[in-house]
Amino acid sequence: MEEFLGENPHKRLIKELLVEGKIFSVQLQSLLKQPNESVLADELIQKIWGSLTQAITVLNSLGNSDNSLTQSQIEKVDQPNSGSGLKMKKEKQDRRGCYKRRKTSGSWMRESETMNDGCAWRKYGQKKILNSKYPRCYYRCTHKYDQECRATKQVQIIQENPTKMYHTTYFGNHTCNSTKIPKHTYNSQFNHAMVKHSNSTVLKEEEEEEEEESKGQSDNASSIVDSNLWQDFMPSSPSAHDSTLAANYNAAYYEGVISSHDMEDLAKFGEIEAIEFC
């Protein structure tokens, strides 16, 4: 959510709808023509979903200025030495229950057979939810305090499903450096999972890194690759001049996925340094 602040909403919408939506859709289309690619196709579907969710978030913020104000106020309160009344209250009183009810914007969801996503989470609460057979569990990043990582998630068993499936809602990005996501993947952050994971060399490197890292952790290692895939569609601030990103955009243009007009917009907003097409 924070990544939206200070970013041009128009720019964000173009990224989410014109670029990500189109690129991922076409990639999915080509994947569906190939056998044995159902896992990657599923990941792409999740990414498209995430992209659309982000776009809706931006639209919501455009359509309701009151919400934007509330968000900025919340951010202000969170800053140290803000001196606001709420902050004073937080410092001097019992902080239990002192929170703003979470809005669904800025969140994204995932359904899986395992709760494990490769990150270190700490459970901080569990609630019985109305009309729900199973309770909802609340998790925050283990490094909330030592690295000020504000990522949280809510996990709920999907009751309709006979096999145990988990519906997880994520809030905020991990800002800690404890995730198993290789830096080159995490930092580029503009959802290049298809590019990266279709490259066997890169994938192998990632698996080796993960194997090293997983030695000291209790998480189930079986879902590490899966976790890296889904982590790629975490909403986050893209690197404006990421070379892979620019290459991806240009490839998308050549494939006809995005138009010259889209590319002009991207150049205008600084997503690519120069328009490479003729």
Partner DNA sequence: CTAATTTGACCTCT
Partner DNA sequence: AGAGGTCAAATTAG
**Which residues would be at the binding site for DNA (CB under 7 A)?**
94-102, 120-127, 129-130, 136-138, 140, 142, 152, 154
What distances in angstroms separate CA 231 from CA 135, 149, 190, 198, 224, one per listed residue?
A: 25, 16, 11, 16, 10
Least spacing, CB of residue 68 vs DNA, in Å: 15
CB atoms within 10 A of CB 160: 7
Phi-psi sector, 81: left (phi>0), alpha (psi -120 to 50), beta:
left
Least spacing, CB of residue 94 vs DNA, in Å: 6
The span from the first CA to the last CA of the chain, in angstroms, equals 36
Least spacing, CB of residue 129 vs DNA, in Å: 4
Phi-psi sector, 12: left (phi>0), alpha (psi -120 to 50), beta:
alpha
Least spacing, CB of residue 269 vs DNA, in Å: 32
Of 107 and 191, the one with the shorter C-beta distance to DNA is 107
d(CA 55, CA 9): 9
Of 138 and 269, the one with the shorter C-beta distance to DNA is 138
Of 87 and 102, the one with the shorter C-beta distance to DNA is 102
What DSSP string runs through 20-42?
IIHHHHHHHHHHHTSTT-HHHHH
Of 41 and 120, the one with the shorter C-beta distance to DNA is 120
Of 11 and 136, the one with the shorter C-beta distance to DNA is 136
Of 142 and 239, the one with the shorter C-beta distance to DNA is 142
Least spacing, CB of residue 219 vs DNA, in Å: 10
Least spacing, CB of residue 161 vs DNA, in Å: 19
Residue 140 forms beta bridges with which residues?
122, 152
159 contacts 144 by C-beta, under 8 angstroms? no
